Amino acid sequence: MVALEMLVGLLISWAILALTFAITSWILSGMDVSGGFWGYLWVSLLFGIVNAVIGTILRIITFPLTLLTLGLFSIVVNALLLQITDGLSDRFTIDEFWWTAIWGAIIMAIVLVVLHVIVAALAPRNVS
Domain ranges of the chain: 30-120
Furthest-apart CA atoms within the chain: distance in Å? 50
Phi, psi at residue 89, to the nearest 5°?
-125, 140
92-94 and 31-33 beta bridge pairing: antiparallel
Q: Please report the pLDDT score of residue 83 as a whole number.
A: 95
Q: Please report the pLDDT score of residue 98 as a whole number.
A: 79
- Which DSSP string corresponds to the chain? -HHHHHHHHHHHHHHHHHHHHHHHHHH-TTEEE-SHHHHHHHHHHHHHHHIIIIIHHHHHHTHHHHHHTTTTHHHHHHHHHHHHHHHH-SSEEES-IIIIIHHHHHHHHHHHHHHHHHHHHHSPPP--
Q: Please report the pLDDT score of residue 96 as a whole number.
A: 83
Q: Please report the pLDDT score of residue 127 as a whole number.
A: 59
Cα–Cα distance for residue pair 80/118, rounded to 1 Å: 27
Judge if pTM exceeds 0.75: yes
The C-alpha torsion from 98 through 25 and 84 to 81, rounded to 10°, is 80
Q: Please report the pLDDT score of residue 3 as a whole number.
A: 86
Q: Please report the pLDDT score of residue 1 as a whole number.
A: 78
Q: Please report the pLDDT score of residue 9 as a whole number.
A: 86
Q: What is the pLDDT along the chain (128 residues), one digit of tens a residue?
A: 788 888 988 999 999 999 999 999 999 999 999 999 999 999 999 999 999 999 999 999 999 999 999 999 999 999 999 999 999 999 999 998 778 999 999 999 999 999 999 998 888 776 55
